[in-house]
Every structure is written in structure tokens, then in C-alpha cells.
Copies of this chain bind each other. A is one copy, B any other.
């Protein structure tokens, strides 16, 4: 995820927020920093552990704001916690390896060949359904090395 080291990350996030009449406050900036530093989606307990000063309620509230602005994505697996990551637009499109046992999620980069097949599937589905599809989400479900 080379884009995560992009120095303009902050600026791009700020722009996306401004477009929604939202500010890039200190708390929101810290969330972006934590998520940018991680190589996988994080739960809120994990975020709070990495930035001890943050208030839980503000984290929840700011993640909603950041998600509405398209800066972060929320993902839900089968375990108890939701997970957050920077949006594809900021870090590059990728898919997920999801551990069916512990819920852990890791990133896996998308490849051109696969994306081409997926785009075709999306187009086909759009034709045959009332849905207008915006993007796709591919999870590879298995067991992570920790749980194996």
C-alpha cells in the first residue's frame, strides 16, 4: 500500500471532508494516522489502544464522519467488532483475507486480471437486476496463521 506513505494523504482527506462541510480536526487526523500506519483494518479497541488519548465516543462519531466523507471504510466480519481502514481511493484498491476463526483481516492487493473479470461480473449483474452497482468487495475466507 504505497499510497499510505503519500505525504498528500492528509491534504486529500481534508479535501474530501471539506466537500462534505466537515473539518479535519485533531481527533480525525489522529484516526487517519493510525489507520494509515496499519497494514490491515483495525477494530475500535485496537485504535484506542494505539492512541490512548482518544475518547471512545469521539472515535465512533468521527469514524462515521470519515466514512460519510469517503475517507475510511467500515468492514464487518463475523466477530464482534467492526473494523476500519482508509478508503480505496486513498490507499489503492485491494481485497481482504478474513479469518473465519478470529475475525482478523489482512489486505491483499488487487490484480489487473482479476479486476477485469470482476468488472465484467459487475456489468452483467447491473444489467439483470434493479441494482446500480458502485463497487465490489471480495473477501477470501479462511484461517489465519495464528489460528491454524
Query: Within the complex, which residue of B99, B106, B131, B138 is in contact with A97, where a contact is CB–CB below 8 Å?
Result: B131
Q: How far is the CB of A27 from chain B (nearest CB, A)?
A: 23
User: Is the beta-carbon distance between A132 and B148 smaller than 8 angstroms?
Assistant: yes
Q: How far is the CB of A98 from chain B (nearest CB, A)?
A: 8
Q: Mark A91-108, 1 if CB is under 8 A from B, else 0.
A: 000010111100000101
Number of copies: 2
A3 interface contact, C-beta 8 A: no
A99 to B130 alpha-carbon distance, docked (Å)? 10
- In the complex, how many residues of chain A place their beta carbon closer than 8 angstroms to a beta carbon of chain B? 43
Chain B residues within 8 Å of A134, by CB: 100, 141-143
User: Is the beta-carbon distance between A140 and B136 smaller than 8 angstroms?
Assistant: yes
Q: How far is the CB of A114 from chain B (nearest CB, A)?
A: 5
A18 interface contact, C-beta 8 A: no
A49 interface contact, C-beta 8 A: no
